[in-house]
Amino acid sequence: MQDSLMCDKSKYSDNWETPPEFYKHVLPLVKDYPIWEPFVGVSHRSTKAMLELGLDVLETPNDFFEQIKEWPEKDGKPRLLLSNPPFSQKFKVLEALVEAQADGKVKPFIILLPSWVYASATFRKLVVRTKIKPQLFIPALRLNYFSSQDGLQKKATSFDSTCICYGMEGEHWETNLCYF
Ligand SMILES: C[S@@+](CC[C@H](N)C(=O)[O-])C[C@H]1O[C@@H](n2cnc3c(N)ncnc32)[C@H](O)[C@@H]1O
- Summarised one tens digit per residue, pLDDT across range 85-129 is 999 999 999 999 999 999 999 999 999 999 999 999 999 999 999
171-180 long-range contacts, Cβ below 8 Å, gap at least 24? 172/28, 172/29, 173/135, 176/133, 176/134, 176/135, 176/136, 177/135, 177/136, 177/138, 178/29, 178/135, 178/136, 178/137, 178/138, 179/137, 179/138, 179/140, 180/25, 180/28, 180/139, 180/140
Res. 63: pLDDT tops 60: yes
143 to each of 18, 71, 157, how far by Cα in Å?
8, 28, 7
Q: Residue 138 Cα, ligand 1 centroid: separation in angstroms?
A: 21
CATH number for domain 12-179, candidates 3.40.50, 3.30.70, 1.10.1060, 3.90.1200: 3.40.50
How much is the pLDDT for 6?
A: 57
Query: What pLDDT, on a 0 to 100 scale, did the predictor assign at position 9?
Result: 46
Residues in contact with ligand 1 (CB, 6 Å cut-off): 4, 6-8, 14-18, 38-39, 41-42, 45-46, 63-65, 83-84, 86, 89
Q: What is the dihedral of CA 110, 7, 57, 161, to 10 degrees?
A: -30
**Per-residue pLDDT, 11:** 76
The structural domains of the chain, with segments of one domain joined by +, span 12-179
Most confident of 6-10, 14-18, 35-39, 153-157: 35-39
User: Does the global pTM surpass 0.85?
Assistant: yes
Q: Which atom of ligand 1 lies closest to the CA of 145?
A: 9
Distance 30 CA to ligand 1 centre (A): 20
Q: How confident is the model at residue 5 (pLDDT cuts 50, 70, 90)?
A: low
Residue 10 pLDDT: 53
Average pLDDT on 132-156 reads: 93
Task: Reply yes or no on whether the pLDDT at 150 is more than 70.
Answer: yes
Percent of the chain at pLDDT > 90 equals 86
pLDDT value for 138: 95
> Ligand 1 centre from 120 Cα, in Å?
22
